[in-house]
Amino acid sequence: MQKTIIIFFGPPGSGKGTQAELLAKKTDWQKISTGDLLRSEVAAKTKLGKLADKYLKTGKLVPDRFIVEMVDNSLKKKSSGFIFDGYPRNLKQLKDLLLMFKKRIKKSAPIYAIEIAVSDKEVKQRLGQRRMCACGKVYHLLYNSPINEGICDICGGKLFTRNDDKPKVISHRLKVYHHDGQAVLDYWRVLGKLIKINGEQPIAKIHNDIMEKLRELKVI
Ligand code: AMP
List the residue whose alpha carbon is closest to atom 15 of ligand 1. 35
Task: Per residue of the chain (220 residues), give pLDDT as tens.
Answer: 578 999 999 999 999 999 999 999 999 999 999 999 999 999 999 999 999 999 999 888 999 999 999 999 999 988 999 999 999 999 999 999 999 888 776 667 899 999 999 999 999 999 999 999 988 888 999 888 999 999 999 999 999 998 889 999 999 999 999 999 999 999 999 999 999 999 999 999 999 999 999 999 999 9
CA–centroid distance, residue 104 to ligand 1 (Å):
25
User: Are 56 and 49 contacting, i.e. CB atoms less than 8 angstroms apart?
Assistant: no
Alpha-carbon 23 to chain mean position: 12
Task: State if residue 41 touches ligand 1 by the CB under 6 angstroms criterion.
Answer: no
Query: 56: Cβ below 6 Å to ligand 1?
Result: yes
Candidates 7, 18, 34: which one to mutate for ligand 1, based on the most atoms within 8 Å of Cβ? 34
The closest residue, in CA terms, to atom 19 on ligand 1 is 87
CA-CA distance, 127 to 124, in Å (whole number)? 5
What is the reported pLDDT for 1? 59
The full set of domains in the chain, from first to last, is: 4-29+79-120+168-216 (3.40.50.300)
Q: Which atom of ligand 1 is nearest to the CA of 59?
A: 10
Predicted model pTM: 0.91
Rounded CA separation 84/105 (Å): 16
